[in-house]
DNA sequence: CTTTCTGCAAACTGTTTGCATTGAG
DNA sequence: CTCAATGCAAACAGTTTGCAGAAAG
């Protein structure tokens, strides 16, 4: 039995599989193991490539099916930044947050502003709109890229 | 010469075409004419279907190319709600706004909360992130669908 | 007349699905 | 043993592109 967030993920996901009558295969264990190691926001193809680099071949079909289960189980979040592909992120039990996407390097950073959530709930309520979830993304240049590419004066 | 927002759109877009060395064809005029009439947020396919219903056949290629130009010229906005297709909306000179998307009927409603924009700018600045634009979407049930489908107690 | 526009079909990208084989419980 | 997991290739949806003929400037 593994420790820390690794153990948590395994346990949560195993519970989810059991209660859905699904199976925890050795391949799923191996992939999950590596998914935790690669932090951050990744697309399905990126993940497959990284795994291949580590000597683990996973078919697209299997990858997409696994990501779908991880999303359903709540272990992973799926994000759409409007770039034609989806990005997946291990929740690590984090609270909901929004994203800053760097258009230069593709890096993703998170931000959390409870005051914004409150205001947006108010806005929805005022229009009698029953909100379920939201997606709030800011696009621009991350600190690193601003420095590296002299974008200060833009 | 047409009046009101129609005339404005035509003039803006004509200027854009001229300054880019492009041509204002009769087909483009006709389509723009009808695009103004169909208010709201529409996907390329929806637009093509509506036009076909009015006896105007436009190929996908032409539609996508025109939408791309309308976006570049600033006459139309393009939105991605993470649904696998893009939606286009005539700007009508409106200020930037965010969206409420109804997962039941697909309807889109706008909201504008300057306080949120301010807070999000602050959040970005705090992380030394140079923001260019953002997209903020709330998903849920619109007032009509809540009433119609008795979703009050959800 | 030169260059862009248009429609068609083919290409492309990310994702999903059908099917035969493999493997977990 | 039974039902789910896997890999492969084919299918899919939205969008883009190459090309030949039509039309704008």
| Residue B77: CATH number of its domain | 1.10.10.10
- φ and ψ at B88, to 5 degrees? -120, 145
Note whether B83 and B102 are same-domain residues. no
Note whether A123 and A152 are same-domain residues. yes
Domain end residue (candidates: A61, A76, A93): A93
* pLDDT single digits (tens) A74-88: 999 999 999 999 999
In this complex, do A119 and B138 lie within 8 Å of one another by their Cβ atoms?
no
Note whether B38 and B102 are same-domain residues. no
- Provide the 8-state DSSP code for B17: H
The total number of structural domains that make up chain A: 2
pLDDT of residue B1: 47
- DSSP assignment of chain A equals ---HHHHHHHHHHHHHHHHHT----HHHHHHHHHHHHS-S-EEHHHHHHHHHHTT----HHHHHHHHHHHHHTTSEEEEE-SSSSEEEEE-TTPPP-EEEEETTT--EEEE--HHHHHHHHHHHHHTT-EEEEEEEEEEEE-HHHHHHTT-TT-
Note whether B123 and B62 are same-domain residues. no
Note whether B29 and B84 are same-domain residues. yes
How far, rounded to the nearest angstrom, does the alpha carbon of residue A77 sit from its chain's CA centroid?
4
Select from B31, B26, B28, B36 the least CA-distant residue to B4: B36
Find chain A residues with C-beta within 8 A of B133's C-beta.
138-140
pLDDT of residue B8: 84
Select from A83, A78, A71, A146 the least CA-distant residue to B135: A83
Identify the domain containing residue A118 by its residue range: 95-154
Average pLDDT over residues A20-26: 97
Note whether A24 and A88 are same-domain residues. yes
| CA closest to A122 among chain B residues | B113
Residue A153 confidence class, pLDDT cut points 50, 70, 90: low
For residue B153, pLDDT beyond 50: yes
Note whether A65 and A26 are same-domain residues. yes
Note whether A88 and A37 are same-domain residues. yes
Note whether A55 and A117 are same-domain residues. no
Most A CBs within 10 Å, among B100, B102, B110, B145, to test the A interface: B100
Find chain A residues with C-beta within 8 A of B140's C-beta.
124, 129-133
Rounded to the nearest angstrom, the minimum Cα separation between A135 and chain B is 5
- What is the side-by-side strand order in the sheet with B42-43? B42-43, B86-90, B76-80
| CA closest to B111 among chain A residues | A123
Domain end residue (candidates: B93, B118, B144): B93
- CA-to-C1' distance for B20 and C8, Å? 26
Note whether A20 and A58 are same-domain residues. yes
Please say whether the beta carbons of B134 and A139 come within 8 A. yes
Q: Classify burial at A55, counting beta carbons within 10 Å of its beta carbon; exposed 0-12, middle 13-18, buried 19 or more.
A: exposed
A132 lies within 8 A of chain B by CB:
yes
In strand D, the nucleotides that come within 7 Å of a protein beta carbon are 3-10, 13-18, 23-25
Rounded to the nearest angstrom, the minimum Cα separation between A121 and chain B is 9
Note whether B147 and B85 are same-domain residues. no
For residue B2, pLDDT beyond 60: no
Note whether A125 and A57 are same-domain residues. no
In this prediction the pTM is 0.93
Is the sign of the CA dihedral B129, B135, B138, B143 positive or negative? positive
| Residue B119: CATH number of its domain | 3.30.1490.190
* pLDDT single digits (tens) B73-102: 999 999 999 999 999 999 998 999 999 999
Average pLDDT over residues A107-119: 97
**What is the CB neighbour count within 10 angstroms for residue A14?**
16
For residue A18, pLDDT beyond 70: yes
pLDDT of residue A121: 98
* pLDDT single digits (tens) B99-150: 999 999 999 999 999 999 999 999 999 999 999 999 999 999 999 999 998 7
Domain end residue (candidates: A93, A115, A146): A93
Whole-angstrom Cα distance, residue B70 to residue B90?
A: 9
- φ and ψ at A33, to 5 degrees? -50, -50
């Amino acid at each position: 039995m593994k420790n820390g967030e690794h153990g948590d993920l395994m346990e949560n996901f195993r519970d989810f599989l059991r209660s859905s009558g699904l199976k925890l295969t050795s391949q799923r264990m191996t992939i999950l193991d590596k998914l935790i190691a690669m932090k951050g926001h990744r697309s399905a193809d990126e993940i497959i490539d990284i795994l291949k680099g580590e000597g683990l071949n996973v078919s697209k079909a299997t990858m997409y099916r696994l990501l779908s289960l991880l999303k359903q189980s709540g272990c992973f979040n799926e994000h759409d930044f409007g770039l034609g592909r989806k990005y997946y992120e291990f929740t690590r039990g984090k609270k909901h947050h929004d994203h800053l996407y760097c258009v230069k390097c593709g890096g993703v950073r998170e931000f959390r502003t409870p005051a914004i959530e409150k205001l947006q709930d108010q806005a929805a309520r005022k229009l009698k709109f029953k909100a379920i979830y939201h997606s709030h993304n800011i696009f621009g240049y991350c600190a690193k890229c601003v420095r590296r590419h002299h974008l200060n004066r833009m």
